[in-house]
Amino acid sequence: MPPVSGPAGAVVINGRPLGRFAIMAVVNRTPDSFFDRGATYEFRAALAAVDRAVAEGADIIDIGGVKAGPGAEVDVAEELRRVVDVVAAVRERHPHVVISVDTWRAEVGRAVAEAGADLLNDTWGGVDPELAEVAAEHRLGLVCAHAGGLRPRTRPHRVGYDDVVADVIAHVTAEAERAVALGVPPEGILIDPAHDFGKNTRHSLEITRRLGELVATGWPVLVAVSNKDFIGETLGRPVQKRGVGTTAVLAVSAWLGARVFRVHDVAAARRALRAVEALAGQAPAPRARP
């Protein structure tokens, strides 16, 4: 299949335009992240991780205060404590980077908007309908994702779809259209199939193969596949050894037209995306060596 060039319109998040491909760096202020096990939980460690990601070419910093999977309860007050001060500090240190916050809660969305966030990453598929209202009120970008109707921080159990891609498309496009109707800037909306959220490995692989169908909706597609379980199960690799598989899925997703890539390893993702651009003839040809 030929590479898909993606929508003609630019992606603009809160007045900040993104390029053909944009890298979203994960920075978790959680003590129990599945990947880094709390390496960026401490405030100064989180800021150092942001500085590294920006230096390596990240376009977006995605700050999260609650582990996606099951674990210790994190109430609104604790989530606010974990993310608001980091957002404010990153806004001061990196005025031009796009700041995203991974949350499903409208209360958190409102607080981080006031602290300087540009994008609300609603990975749980609109479980709190007021979050889109917050994005509209503050003219922020919004990620519209598909979690198969799961409650936040729960895992799928014997989940089934007649057609998982059709289900994803129906849900994320409806969420995107609702967001526009509320007043969210359409150029700041991304759709995310949310690999592994409400899905098993077979579903996540099917979504990856058919990603072009999401791209064909005209909404810019975000993929968040970095080190996820479907990669580990497919390759039989533990969490810390899924880098090669992640790079492969990122490259395939870029080739099929995805625009934004949520990753743990910014430098590796940037190299992979440069390779895709070169293969697709969208980057300057390298100089021949004498």
User: One of 105, 110, 259, 262 is an active-site residue; which one?
Assistant: 262
Give catalytic status of residue 262 as yes or no: yes
Question: Residue 271: helix, strand or coil by DSSP?
Answer: helix
| Distance separating alpha carbons of residues 67 and 98, to the nearest angstrom | 21
| Distance separating alpha carbons of residues 279 and 120, to the nearest angstrom | 32
Q: Which residues of 199-236 are buried (b: 16+ CB within 10 A; e: fewer)?
A: bbbebbbbbbebbbbbbeeebbbbbbbbbbbbbbebee
Give the residue among 190, 206, 270 at the shortest CA–CA distance from 6: 190
Q: Which residue has the tokens 């100089």?
A: 287
Q: Which residues of 75-97 are buried (b: 16+ CB within 10 A; e: fewer)?
A: eeeebbebbbebbbbbbeebeeb
User: One of 228, 242, 259, 270 is an active-site residue; which one?
Assistant: 228
End-to-end Cα, the chain, rounded Å: 34
Give catalytic status of residue 241 as yes or no: no
| Distance separating alpha carbons of residues 139 and 157, to the nearest angstrom | 37
User: Catalytic amino acids?
Assistant: 228, 262
